Chains A and B, each alone.
Chain A
Amino acid sequence: MSRSGPVAAYGPILAVALLLAMLPVATSANTILNSMVMALLIALAGQGWNILGGYGGQFSFGHAVFFGTGAYVTALLQARFGVNAYVAFAAGIAAGAMVGTILGYLSFRSGLRGSYFALVTLAFAEVFRILANATAFTGGAAGTLVKLDVRPENFQFSSRAVFFWIALGLVTAVMLGVRFMERSRFGAWLVAVRENEDAARALGVDTLKVKIQAITLSAGVTAAAGGFYVQYFLFIDANLAYGTWISIEALLVPIVGGLGTVFGPLIGAVALHGLAEATKAIAGRIPGIDLALYGSLLVLAIAFAPNGLQGLMAKIGRGLSFGRAP
């Protein structure tokens, strides 16, 4: 991977994106499109997490803080100040990134790592949730509603396919960006920080700066997922924005798909989403059975594919090629 040319590096991403882009042509079933939009949204949030957690080795339990900030800024700028949706969306990403910078500065400067960093992010998300729930400006507990006005200039579309393409575009752009990062000095330094901080410092890597840059990027990407969520549902409240669900989904998909890989979050999101739909279809009417099944399969997956799905596929691939050898 280290010496591959640009075609080998970026080609597969574009190919996958093009293939996926055909989906609305192949099926007009909005059930599938809606499901895929949600999967892409989670893949986007997860890719954000992956930049910091997968490449930088800093596990966050509180990416909701970025998702929620992106969501709230996107929603509030429109609802309160009548700002154009696209501008609000961009501002949401910027605000999320800024929160990332601040959070990163505070915690990395204090030398927080591992479980401690994970916990501090969790706590930040919780503080934001409580504040958003209690502040009148955010609409308090009633949440904030973006005015329903389905026009392309409002980032609102009557067709699920358009949302799908936008989500796909965002995910693809970020994947290309992550691939570019992988192949840059910053990427090399970030991975060095993950592998061994002291060694990285000895080699002239400003580890604090690299980590802060990484969390800023990471936060911006996850905030984009939040902003997109708002445009898709036109509603946000404190529990949706800053609840633990998104923190968990965001970390789950890259880990399941393949940590620190460009495709990991997308593979994880599609797989987990598919798993959830499948268990739901199998489980029948007793509430909870489907999720219990989902949880069990998750545990089994970790037991038998500890390096994520990509690791599993690689293992199977190796097994096959060994099998073919004379």
Chain B
Amino acid sequence: MFSPEIVTAAVLNGLLTGAVYALVSVALTLVYGVLHIINFAHGATLTAAMFAAYVAWQAGIDPLVAVIGLAPLFFVLGYAVQRWIIGPASHGEDRNILLVTLGLSIVIENVLLATFRSDTRSIDVPYGFSSVDLGFVFLPMPRVIAFGITCVVALLLWILLARTDAGKAIRAVAKDKLGAALVGIDVPHVYAVTFGLGAACLAVAACVLLPSYFVNPRVGNAYVLVAFTVVVLGGMGSVPGAVIGGLFIGIVESLSGLYFGESLGQLGIFLIFILVLLVRPTGLFGARA
């Protein structure tokens, strides 16, 4: 039905889109894996980060430069929010965490609305319209860069988790928070660090997303459901699972969009999501719940 060129191009495009999904999902899965909560404020945080990148751009800083400052900034913000708002307000109860993050997402979205109004804004970076020409397909430069940065971030995160003491502490808390507390790990601190890492990942995602996308006070929500799908597919709490799952979903979405239409393409994602949950809720890529 479609020529091989288009199909190949669709796969490559899906891969590039998938990289952003991966980044957004890594943040989600990290928080889930350690805190065992579903963070309802995930989308709003992404939106906030995109507005931060937008403000930086208005001040003359390219998002790809701004990321150097925004990622640490969002780490600190994420840390603070978990440590001093979500943690204390939720009294450690799952349903309260759910409500607190829900409340936070309402606050974030509407503060953004009050500040920036609801206009959909986009930025025109110098490399915005340049492409990598593969002969049969043009790959948009901003998204190629996004792909590269995602790979770097995933690698850094993996090193952090696997090779550093902080990573060990995070993994210990994820496995058994009581045990971790018994051996002297400061669990609230680890929670906050994890939350901060998640927010930092979102800041990176925001910075690579902005040059090729747009921003308005509700934009983050478009990525949340997909991120959930990716996280479930990759196994809740599994970082490598989220990366592979993100890329996979990107390709599936692209191809099903091509063959079944864009609207039903998203349907395809959710059907996969439901199927995986019903058949193998621990995810396709291992990671025992």
Contacts and interface: CB of A to CB of B under 8 A. Distances in A.
Direct contact of A and B (CB under 8 A): yes
Interface of A: 59, 106-107, 110-112, 115-116, 118-120, 122-124, 126-127, 130-131, 133-134, 248, 252, 255-256, 259, 286-292, 294-296, 298-300, 302-303, 306
B236 interface: yes
Contact of A287 (B100, B108, B118, B266): B118
Interface string B114-126: 1001100000000
B270 A115 contact: no
A317 B91 CA distance: 21
B221 to A, nearest CB: 8
Nearest to B280: A110
A300 B277 CA distance: 34
A302 B110 contact: no
B156 interface: no
Contact of A106 (B88, B105, B278): B278
Nearest to A116: B281
Given A130-B266, A134-B264, A123 B105 contact: no
Interface in B71-127: 85, 88-91, 93, 95-96, 98-100, 102-114, 117-118
A295 B38 contact: no
A256 B100 CA distance: 11
B90 A302 contact: yes
A119 B277 contact: yes
Interface stretch (B134-142, B163-171, B224-232, B240-248): B224-232
B118 A295 contact: no
Contacts of B89: 299-300, 302-303
A294 B106 contact: yes
A130 B113 CA distance: 27
A292 B279 contact: no
A306 B91 contact: yes
A299 B41 CA distance: 12
27 contacts: A110-B277, A115-B32, A115-B38, A119-B277, A126-B270, A131-B267, A252-B99, A259-B95, A286-B114, A287-B114, A288-B110, A288-B111, A288-B112, A288-B114, A288-B217, A290-B110, A292-B106, A292-B107, A294-B106, A295-B108, A295-B110, A298-B102, A299-B89, A299-B103, A299-B107, A302-B100, A303-B89
| Size bin of chain B's contact surface | 35 or more
Given A115-B236, A123-B277, A299-B103, A287 B117 contact: yes
Given A119-B228, A303-B88, 14 more contacts: A115-B36, A115-B38, A118-B38, A120-B273, A131-B267, A134-B263, A256-B99, A287-B114, A291-B109, A292-B107, A302-B89, A302-B96, A303-B89, A303-B90
B55 interface: no
Given A126-B225, A302-B96, A252 B113 contact: no
Given A122-B228, A288-B111, A127 B103 contact: no
Contact of B110 (A118, A126, A133, A291): A291
B205 to A, nearest CB: 21
